[in-house]
């Protein structure tokens, strides 16, 4: 069945350094890949997304890349700040069924 | 004020009881979803619905049931067949081929 794998499960980086989170998906029919940030006790919120006809998208300090051939997509956060500490989830949408499958999450900690 | 509303925020269930979690959206979204989140875990799909009067099982549907009688509403019933129901439940909705918007969640505890 459809599956999204996410790595690493935890990530600690020095403030100001970059963080990279990687995901792979199983269904080649997936065509939409959102990323969510979830702070403690709160709902997940969309931070960036990418569609399958685009290889890279950037929004200020956040960027997402997609390799359709390898079925990989990654989140890049540059110049990390304390407020970036949260759990990040990747997801893949199987648009034929409007089905959204999430990765297992990455807990990102920013060290001062 | 548009959005997706879950109620209650906290819910306590005795063993053997069925409970229903409410999810309402006024965003005119076609699709709605229920996810379960355990401590330190990801979001696992329970059920989803693309249109009214139609829904599909997700990866962990056993012990749960849903209905979609109205576009705005997608209630989730946690039945007594669900052996380990204590978790954080998140409802979401999305327009076609777009991101999901989440409710505030319901924290269910078995007492």
CB contacts, 8 Å: B48 with chain A: 97-100
- The three-state secondary structure class of A83 is helix
pLDDT in tens, A16-25: 999 999 999 9
Contact between residue B61 and residue B47 where contact means Cβ atoms under 8 Å apart: yes
A1: chain B residues, CB-CB within 8 Å: 59
Contact A44/B104, CB-based, under 8 Å? no
pLDDT in tens, B68-91: 999 999 999 999 888 899 999 999
| Cα separation, A105 vs A103, whole angstroms | 6
pLDDT at A35: 98
Say whether A44 and B41 touch across the interface (CB within 8 A).
no
Distance from CA of B103 to the nearest CA of A (A): 7
Closest approach of B99 to chain A, Cα-based (Å): 7
Q: Identify the pLDDT of residue A89.
A: 97
CB contact under 8 A, B100 and A100: yes
pLDDT by residue for chain B (111 residues), tens only, comes to 569 999 999 999 898 899 999 999 999 999 999 999 998 788 999 999 999 999 999 999 999 999 999 999 999 999 988 889 999 999 999 987 788 999 999 999 998
Instruction: Please write down the HEC assignment for all residues of B5-16.
Output: EEECCEEEECCC
Closest Cα of chain A to B80: distance in Å?
Answer: 26
- Distance between CA atoms of residues B52 and A30, nearest Å: 23
The closest CB to that of A43, out of B45, B50, B105, belongs to B105
Q: Give bridge partners of residue B35 from the DSSP assignment.
A: B45, B90
Q: What is the pLDDT of residue B18?
A: 94
* Chain A positions in Cβ-Cβ contact with residue B50 (cut-off 8 Å): 97-98
Chain B residues with beta carbon closer than 8 angstroms to that of A95: 96-97
User: Residue B96's pLDDT is what?
Assistant: 79
Question: CB contacts < 8 Å between A and B, how many?
Answer: 60
- In the block, tokens 């576009």 appear at B71
């Amino acid at each position: 069945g459809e599956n999204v794998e996410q790595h690493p499960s935890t990530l600690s980086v020095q403030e100001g350094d970059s963080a990279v989170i990687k995901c792979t998906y199983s269904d080649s029919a997936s065509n939409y890949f959102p990323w969510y940030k979830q702070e403690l006790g709160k709902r997940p919120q969309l931070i960036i997304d990418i569609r399958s006809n685009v290889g890279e998208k950037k929004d200020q300090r956040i960027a997402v890349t997609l390799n359709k051939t390898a079925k990989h997509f990654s989140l890049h956060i540059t110049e990390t700040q304390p407020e970036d500490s949260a759990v990040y989830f990747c997801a893949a949408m199987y648009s034929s069924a409007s089905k959204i499958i999430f990765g297992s999450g990455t807990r990102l900690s920013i060290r001062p | 004020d548009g959005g997706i509303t879950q109620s209650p925020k906290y819910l306590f269930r005795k063993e053997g009881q069925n409970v229903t979690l409410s999810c309402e959206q006024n965003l005119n979204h076609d699709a709605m979803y229920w996810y379960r989140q355990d401590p330190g875990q990801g979001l696992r799909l329970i059920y989803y619905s693309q249109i009214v009067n139609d829904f599909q099982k997700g990866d962990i549907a056993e012990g749960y049931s849903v209905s979609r009688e109205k576009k705005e509403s997608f209630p989730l019933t946690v039945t007594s067949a669900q052996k380990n129901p204590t978790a954080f439940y998140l409802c979401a909705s999305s327009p076609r081929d777009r991101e999901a918007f989440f409710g505030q969640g319901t924290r269910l505890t078995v007492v």
